[in-house]
Amino acid sequence: MSFDAENAGNAEEIEMQFAVKTVEHLEAYEKLITGILPSKLRLTPIDCEILTHLLDIFPEFRTDDALRELDEEAMKSAKGKERWRSFIMFYEKKLKDYNFGTMLRRDAEKLYGQDNCVLVTRVQFLAIEVGFYLRCAFTSRV
């Protein structure tokens, strides 16, 4: 039996499984960033490639502030969505779960909290977190 996402709707069980997986990822990542020095953190084997691609497509992320504090409105605007869609689809065959919903910290210098997270795709999460840690490393630990 195959799953047809186009006709599945939003079954409560699927939403609950998604929420559980998202929270598990959030908790695991928070443990990681509070226990490892930023200079030692590697999220994927292609971290440097992701960062280079991010900076090519989104030159505004070349500034420390843009990586530290996410501009959610710009990201979710019509123009932002179009730019991000191109970026995301590049990783369709390169990263497992590239488009899975993942919580990203709005302010990278703070831990996750109700007012400090936004739902993005996994590759957006990776790009911004990799950018923050590889490029900036504002603090030795969050």
- Residue 108 carries which DSSP code? T
Share of the chain above pLDDT 90, in %: 40
Sign of the Cα pseudo-torsion (130, 140, 116, 136, in order)? negative
How confident is the prediction for the chain on average, in pLDDT? 83
**How far is CA 84 from its chain centroid?**
12
Can you give the CATH number for the domain in which 47 is found?
A: 1.10.3560.10
Domain range enclosing 43: 11-136
Residue 106, classified by CB atoms within 10 Å of its CB into exposed (0-12), middle (13-18) or buried (19+), is middle
Q: Is residue 6 part of a domain?
A: no
Number of structural domains, the chain?
Answer: 1
21 falls within a domain: yes
What tokens were used for 31? 């443990």
Answer whether residue 47 is part of any domain: yes
Domain annotation covers residue 3:
no
Q: What is the mean pLDDT of residues 73-98?
A: 95
What is the pTM assigned to this prediction?
0.80
142 assigned to some structural domain: no
